[in-house]
Structure 1
Amino acid sequence: MGQYSAVSGIKVLDRAVAIMMAVAPHPLSLTELCETTGLPRATAHRLATALETHRILARGDDGRWTTGTALTSLGTGGRDQLLDAARPVMSDLVDVTGESVQLYQLTGTSRTCVAAQEPPVGLQNTVPVGSQLALTSGSAAKVFLAFGSPQLRETILPQVTFDPEELGDVEKQRLSESVAERELGLA
């Protein structure tokens, strides 16, 4: 295997760690990842995608793999500063609105739920932490697209289920809402 060559005897683990070590210094394309690790393209892609699911890797707008937020969380003793800051705000939102609240992270051309809070009573629209959702509908998708890169918009806007003109309102108001976009009957 490429530059990182520690061997534990557990092949899949050795390969996954080689991928993580390869992207640690700077983002890599799949081709560069294969060149650096010496892994076949299908293997590198399968493992990188699995690591992305666990937020160990993330894909940028340009498709390059980089380290994900789970590594930051692990490196800070399991504490994620963003999540620590978001939790009280999320609780306040649940209290004020009586609705479920989720926090998403952009992962390539989708979004991953990194935190969720539910109201104690009433409708609970649980999105499990770790769930990946498309950027084609929903209020969080609008926020990512309104404030995302031109490349992200170019890729996603042809597929959205809402009026792209809404993104201008999201930028101005710094607020996004959706009614029955992701799931019929849910706001």
Structure 2
Amino acid sequence: MATLTSESGSGVGVLDKTSLLLGVLADGPASLRTLSEVTGLSRATVHRLALALENIRLLTRDAQGRFLIGPRIGELAEEAGRDRLARSAGHVLAELRLRTGASARLYRRHGGLRVCVAAAEGPGTGRRVRSAEGVALPMKAGAGAQALLAWEDPQEIARSIRGAAFGMVTLAKVRRQGWAQSLGTGELGFGAAAVPVRGPAGQVVAALVLDGPVTLMSRAPGRQYGGLLIDAAAGLDTGPA
């Protein structure tokens, strides 16, 4: 199995090793053995670092004892996302919920994760903890991940789609359409549509997502709601030009 290396280290060994561990776990849970093999670090080093990170809630474990990203990561990302964009999203998300009956969410990208920084749950859809504010999800599936990645540079796209549920062709289509969609990716029977939110210089700074049961979203959620989402994204406050 190939190992990871830190191409642009911080110069502080423990931070660079921690970064390697988090980079692996951004793709999902991993055992101690897998973390050691992928990072090239010794099992003893991985075990020591993982236990220390678990103590401060940056890592946690699943029912099989595998390590995964801990709740503190989401909390820190959510706090960092409490800028004017996240604050301005409340009324936009509420309006989308009112007009569609679906749940509206705003995601920011943090490395290999997308973090929900604001949400308005649609009536009757139930509170889906998996997508609640502060929850961090891998950038490997879903309309939100597609919208966040589609306008990255080709090298970053190639790196990020390794092991993803979508590829270059899908992201090229997202760029042409201006919106992304997914069906049953995060939860069976649910569909989602997403569009990029652009900053003052035109860069993608977030993804605006609408999701709900397929009975509400249809089998073509992007076609049905893409235009509405594009208009709503234009109304978000991303800062001065």
TM-score (norm 2): 0.48
SS at match of 2:161: helix
Q: Would the aligned equivalents of 1:100 and 1:124 in 2 still touch at CA under 8 Å?
A: no
SS of the aligned residue for 1:147 comes to coil
Following the alignment from structure 1 to structure 2, what is the Cα–Cα distance between the partners of residues 31 and 53? 26
The structure-2 alpha-carbon separation of the partners of 1:48 and 1:183, relative to structure 1 and needing over 3 Å to count, comes to closer
Aligned counterparts of 1:166 and 1:129: Cα–Cα separation in 2: 27
Higher RCO structure (Cα 8 Å, ≥6 apart)? 2
Structure 2 stretches lacking a partner, 5+ long = 1-7, 16-44, 60-71, 192-241
Number of aligned pairs?
138
What letter is aligned with 2:163? Q
- 1:107 maps to 2:133: no
Would you say 1:89 and 2:92 are equivalent positions? yes
TM-score, length basis structure 1: 0.59
Deviation at 1:140, TM superposition (A): 0.3
RMSD over aligned CA atoms reads 3.3
Give the structure with the larger strand fraction.
2
Which of 46, 49, 56 is the matching residue for 1:42? 49
Aligned to 2:176: 172
Q: Which runs of structure 2 are paired with 1:9-158 in the superposition (5 Å)?
A: 29=9, 31-32=11-12, 34=14, 42=49, 46=53, 49=58, 52-55=73-76, 70-71=79-80, 73=82, 80-120=83-123, 122-124=124-126, 126=128, 127-158=131-162
Identity score, percent: 26
Runs of 5+ consecutive residues of structure 1 not aligned to the other structure: 1-27, 56-67, 74-79
Q: Secondary structure at the match of 1:101?
A: strand
CA distance in 2, matches of 1:90, 1:106: 18
